[in-house]
Each structure stands twice: as C-alpha cells, then as structure tokens.
Structure 1
Amino acid sequence: MTAVVEATDLEKTYGETVALSGASLSVTAGEVFGLIGPNGAGKTTLVRALTGTTEPDSGTARVLGEAPAAIDRGRLGVLPQDFSPPDRLSARELLAYYAGLYDDPRDPDAVLADVGLADARDTWYEDLSGGQQRRVCVGSTLVNDPDVLFLDEPTTGIDPAGRRTVWRLIEDLAAGGTTVLLTTHDMAEAERLADRVGLLADGSLVACDTPAALVRKHGGSSRLTIETTAESEAFEDLEYPVERPGRGRHGTPDGALVVRDIAPAEIGAVVDYLEDRNLEYTGLSWAEPDLEDVYLELADRTELERTSPDTSERDDLASASETA
C-alpha cells in the first residue's frame, strides 16, 4: 500500500544536541499512527520535519507524495504541542478565523460540536478551561477537512470525558479515510487509537508494530498485585515469581508485591497460600501486560544501553531484557 506519510533516515542536530538520528517511518492512507517516546526523544522534531516547519539535515520526508513544504496546506491539519491563539476571541470566532484561511472550509459550529464545545461557542478563549482550550485547538486543525492530520500530544490537559470525545472524533476521522499521526505520552490513548505504534528513542524508531504485537513481543508476563505488609521472604515457597517493584509502575501501592506469570485460574492458589500462612492483605488485582509495559521495557533498555559505559555490560543488559 502506498505511503501517505513517509520519513527515511531523517537526521537533525541542534548544536551538540542530536534530535533525529536516522528516523524512518511509513504511514498508509486512513491509518492512525501513534508516536511514543521519552521527553527529548525527537517526537516533535520529527513531526516538524514531516510538516515542513523544520528542515532536516539529511534524509527525506514525503507527505501525499510531495516534499512537506510543497504540500497544499489545505490538505493538512497540524496541531503543534504549543499553540496559543488570541485570548480575546470566542471559541467560534477563533474557528471562523481559521476557516477563513481556506477556500472550502467546514462550518465552525459543526466543528465545535465535534469537539464537544457547542455550548461554549461564545466564551472567550481566555475564559475557557485548559482542557477546553486544547479542544478548540484540535478543532482549528479540522476546519479545512484535512486529508492528513498531525496531532502533537492532542489531549494534554483535557479531562477524561473530553479526552474520550476527542478519541471518538479521531476514530471517526480515520474511519472516513483521514490519515492521522499523533504523538502521546498516554499509553491508553495510543493503545486505543493507533493501528500501529512506533517508539522513538534517541532520535530513531526502536520498535514499530500494532499495539497487540508489541505487547506480545515486549510486554512481559501477567501480574497479580498483592497489597500486603508481609515481607518478601514470606513468599519464598510460592511457586510463582514474586517481586516488590515499588510505587509508580502501574500505580503500584507502597509495599505491594507483584506475582508474575500467573493465569486468572491460578489466583485461588495464591489466596490459599496467603490464608494458610495468616498473611494479611488489603487487596488483590490481576492484569495482563499492556502498552505501558512495552514502553517501560523498551525505554528502560534504551536508557541502559545509552548510559552504560561498558560495551559488554550493555550487551549483558540487552540480553537480560530479552529473556526477562
């Protein structure tokens, strides 16, 4: 299938900083492509190179078969990460202004309804909440009914209900044939919306596939989280691998233990183990691996390889990650 958006070996440096280092990707018509990666990985630079606002040092970028700077801007919708329209215009006036830049725009009221802001049409931009402002910004990229849509962290600051409105809108656009490339730090967003996900690290794509395929390959095993104050030694006789990961990953509470590689039908055996040894616990939760596991695995591996000074140590770390 012909690529609608294509980057080949893009390189870009800013002084001593390497923003892109051989970044390559290909997005087909009607596809939603999710770009994830740590801060500073080069996501925004890659989007700028693909939209013609940054000139790469080397490599090629093509959108709709042309160089990004040569594209009819009416065929593109671009939402930068930082976008600050005039404060003293209403939501409708802002969209009417952007609609006026195109020959055959959509009705601003219809766009406001799409992003869930029909009731706020007459509110000044500065008086909208942060999440509402971001939805107006999303709307500004849709007034020209673009063929290709670039969204750099589109739902940042939007509340859960508003985020789902934007998600449904993106799904509807893709179903209608719009090609979408979005960057996000929200793994649930990427997993729900993206047909394929690419992880950008140190300026290049280190993995790219469907969310399900990435989870199968890099997500690891299922986990049963036990909220307990019992010491790890109390679980030495349990037949499943046990770890105490600490707070943060998947919102694991302080002191909780994680039992790895366990099927739902086997949870009863763990409960029996707890009760037979009078080990107190306040909660149990089971989960399959997801895209967050993939992100943490690949991002951690890339960070270890980048910061480890010894080549043999990097190889050992990579081997351990592959077999974990």
Structure 2
Amino acid sequence: MEAVVEAEGLEKVYGETVALSGASLSVERGEIFALIGPNGAGKTTLVRALTGTTEPDSGTARVLEESPDAVDRNRLGVLPQAFSPPARLAARELLTYYAGLYDDARDPDEVLADVGLADAGGTWYEDLSGGQQRRVCVGATLVNDPEVLFLDEPTTGIDPAGRRTVWRLIEELASAGTTVVLTTHDMAEAERLADRVGLLADGALVARGTPDALVREHGGSSRLRIETDADTGAFRGLEYPTERPARNRQRSDRSETDGTVVVRNVEPTEIAAVVDYLEDRDLAYSGLSWSEPGLEEVYLELADETERDRTVAPTNRSEGSDGGRGSDDDSRTDDELPPAGETA
C-alpha cells in the first residue's frame, strides 16, 4: 500500500516544554487514522508539523511524497481546532469565498448539503448554532476536494445527529480514496471511523493499531457490574475474579458509591450462572450491567501507565497549566494555524 502521510522521529520543544518527542507514523492512501491522547499530549503540534504550519526541531515528515510545506495546497484540506471566519457572512458566502481560493473547487451548495446544512446557506455564520458553525468549518476544508484531509477535533460542539452526518461524510470520503488524519477525544468517534488509531502521550505514539487489536491488547476483560452491598468475600466461591472498584479510581468501571462489585471475564451466556450464585446465597442486589472493553478502556489504561511513569520518573517537562504534559491543543492557541482556506 502507498503511504501518503509519513513522520519519522519528529521532535519539537517550546522553551522547556516538550511537545513532540520522537513521534513516528505512516498513513496509507484512503485510510482514516485517528490520533487520541490527553490534553497536552502533542496531537495538535503533530498535525501542525504534518501540514507545514510548524517546523519540527528534528525528524522528517512527508505528505504526498513531499515536504509538508511544499505540497500543493489544492491537494490538502486542514481543519484546525479553533476556526473563526467572518461572522457577518452567510454560510454559502463563506464556502464561496474559500472555493475561490482554489483552481478547481466544488459547488458550495453541494458542500453545504454534504455537511447537512442545505437549508442554512443563507444564514449568517454568527446566527448558526455552535454545531452548525463547526459543520460550516468542516465544509470549508472540502471545497477543493482534497486528497489528504487533516481534521483537528472535527465534531467538537456538534449534536449527535449532526455528528453522525459528519461521520458518514468522512467515511464516504475515505471510501472514495481520501486519506484522513483526525484528532479526537471521542472514543466512539475513533472506534466508528478509524482504520487505525495512534495513542499519543508525552509527544510520542505509545500505541498504534486497529481499534480491535488495541482493545485485545490493552482493553482488559469484560465486566459484569453488580449493584450490591455484599462484601467481595461473599464472592470467593465464584469462579470469576471479582473486585470492588476504589471510589477515587479514574476509570470507566469506577463506582460512584460503595455498592458495586465488578466480576470480570464473564461472557453474556454465563451471566445466569452468576445470578444463580447470588440467589443461592441470598445475596441482595439491585441491578446488573455487562460491558465489554472498548477504546475508552485502552485510553484510560495507557494514560494511567503514562501518568504513573511520569510520577515515578519525572522529566524536564515544564509544569504548565496542563501539568507539564507537553504543548498541545490546549496549551498553545490555534491562532498559529491559518484559516482552513489558507492551509487547505
């Protein structure tokens, strides 16, 4: 397969803050690659390095077999996290303006329909809802029908129905051959869209793979949550491992109260055996819920590992507002990223 986005050993330091520390990746044509990671992990800095808007201190990046700053901008679409076009232009006028920046642009009304705003073309940008505004911004990156699309938190602020519209659009673009690199904090978005996922922590990709492969390797086991005040000792005769989650544990299986016991490695067909165990011993319970691990568990497990490593062996990262986790989306402003029409 042909790699159209490549990075090898990218490093970037802002003062004492390490934004990228050897980040490497390769994205093939038509692939959707999702970057996930904590605030300050380096996701936006990596996107900037790949789009030629930030010069890395060391390492190499190539897009469409060229240096990012040499790629024909007609072939790229870039959506930064923060994008504020003129508020007193209508949605159609904005897309018409951006279409005018390219040699062979798409019909703005077509693009509005693609992002689910066919009926809002005449509405001033400032009068659109926040989610609609974000969809206009997504549309601005598509007017040139790009070969490679970089989307930094594309669905932030978009309602569930609008989010699904954007998801379907991204999937259709990839099916037609567009290569997509996106950042997201929405694990459902990454699971739905991504062919592969890269988890960025402290400026380096600490895990890469398909969502299923990452879940198998890092997600842990299935969980049957039992709402009960019974002590975990009452479950010693059960053939499955059990635990009572700590109240302060920052994980998805964390109990909000003390009244939850988690039974692991239970298949759906085995839940009845656990219920029989409870009833045979008169163990009162008020509810049962079963779940299998997903990308959220992967994210939390690897983020926990990174946090523990940082605590045990602190580095020279600066102690900024994000706890010294590197410069990223939230530690530096997006003013350095030009509007979509100038970088797309």
Corresponding residue of 1:191: 191
Output the CA distance in 2 between the equivalents of 1:93 and 1:239.
Answer: 65
Output the CA distance in 1 between the equivalents of 2:174 and 2:118.
Answer: 22
Corresponding residue of 1:92: 92
**1:44 pairs with 2:13:** no
Matching residue within 285, 288, 295 for 2:299? 295
**Helix, strand or coil at the partner of 1:118:** coil
**1:11 pairs with 2:11:** yes
Output the CA distance in 2 between the equivalents of 1:228 and 1:128.
Answer: 47
Output the CA distance in 1 between the equivalents of 2:151 and 2:135.
Answer: 12
TM-score, normalised to structure 1's length? Answer: 0.92
In the TM superposition, residue 6 of structure 1 has moved relative to its aligned partner by 0.4
Corresponding residue of 2:109: 109
Moved more, 272-281 or 70-79: 272-281
Q: Give the number of the structure whose residues are more often helix, by fraction.
A: 1
**Helix, strand or coil at the partner of 1:155:** coil
Answer whether contact 1:77 1:141 (CA < 8 A) is retained.
yes
Matching residue within 285, 289, 307 for 1:285? 289
Alpha-carbon spacing, 1:88–1:286, altered in 2? closer, same or farther (3 Å): same
Tell me the alpha carbon deviations over residues 258-308 of structure 1, each in whole angstroms, 9 at most, x when there is no partner.
111111121111111222233332321212211111111111111111211
In the TM superposition, residue 240 of structure 1 has moved relative to its aligned partner by 1.4
Answer whether contact 1:227 1:253 (CA < 8 A) is retained.
no
TM-score, normalised to structure 2's length? Answer: 0.87
Cα RMSD for the two superposed structures: 1.5
**Helix, strand or coil at the partner of 2:200:** strand
Give the partner amino acid of 2:230: A
**1:134 pairs with 2:138:** no
Output the CA distance in 1 between the equivalents of 2:54 and 2:215.
Answer: 33
Alpha-carbon spacing, 1:166–1:88, altered in 2? closer, same or farther (3 Å): same
Output the CA distance in 1 between the equivalents of 2:236 and 2:129.
Answer: 52
Output the CA distance in 2 between the equivalents of 1:57 and 1:96.
Answer: 37
Tell me the alpha carbon deviations over residues 169-217 of structure 1, each in whole angstroms, 9 at most, x when there is no partner.
0000000000000000111111111111111111011111111111111
Corresponding residue of 1:269: 273
Give the partner amino acid of 2:252: H
Give % identity: 79
**Helix, strand or coil at the partner of 1:119:** coil
Give the partner amino acid of 1:223: R
Matching residue within 295, 308, 311 for 1:304? 308
Corresponding residue of 1:250: 252
**1:204 pairs with 2:210:** no
Output the CA distance in 1 between the equivalents of 2:51 and 2:313.
Answer: 37
**Helix, strand or coil at the partner of 1:146:** coil
In the TM superposition, residue 220 of structure 1 has moved relative to its aligned partner by 0.9
* Alignment gaps of 5+ in structure 1: 311-324
1:39-188 residue pairs with structure 2 within 5 A? 39-188=39-188
Output the CA distance in 1 between the equivalents of 2:273 and 2:188.
Answer: 31
Alpha-carbon spacing, 1:34–1:178, altered in 2? closer, same or farther (3 Å): same
**Helix, strand or coil at the partner of 1:81:** coil
Give the partner amino acid of 2:277: Y
In the TM superposition, residue 233 of structure 1 has moved relative to its aligned partner by 3.5
Moved more, 72-81 or 233-242: 233-242
Instruction: Tell me how many residue pairs correspond in the alignment.
Output: 310
Corresponding residue of 1:320: none
Give the partner amino acid of 1:280: A
Corresponding residue of 2:214: 214
Output the CA distance in 2 between the equivalents of 1:85 and 1:127.
Answer: 13
Corresponding residue of 1:315: none
Tell me the alpha carbon deviations over residues 2-51 of structure 1, each in whole angstroms, 9 at most, x when there is no partner.
31000010000000000000000000100000111111000000000000
Give the partner amino acid of 2:32: V
Output the CA distance in 2 between the equivalents of 1:252 and 1:283.
Answer: 16
Output the CA distance in 1 between the equivalents of 2:150 and 2:286.
Answer: 45
In the TM superposition, residue 90 of structure 1 has moved relative to its aligned partner by 1.1
Give the partner amino acid of 1:20: L
Answer whether contact 1:187 1:292 (CA < 8 A) is retained.
yes
Output the CA distance in 2 between the equivalents of 1:225 and 1:83.
Answer: 42
**Helix, strand or coil at the partner of 1:303:** helix
**Helix, strand or coil at the partner of 2:283:** coil
In the TM superposition, residue 146 of structure 1 has moved relative to its aligned partner by 0.2
Moved more, 165-174 or 266-275: 266-275
Corresponding residue of 2:330: none
Give the partner amino acid of 1:175: S
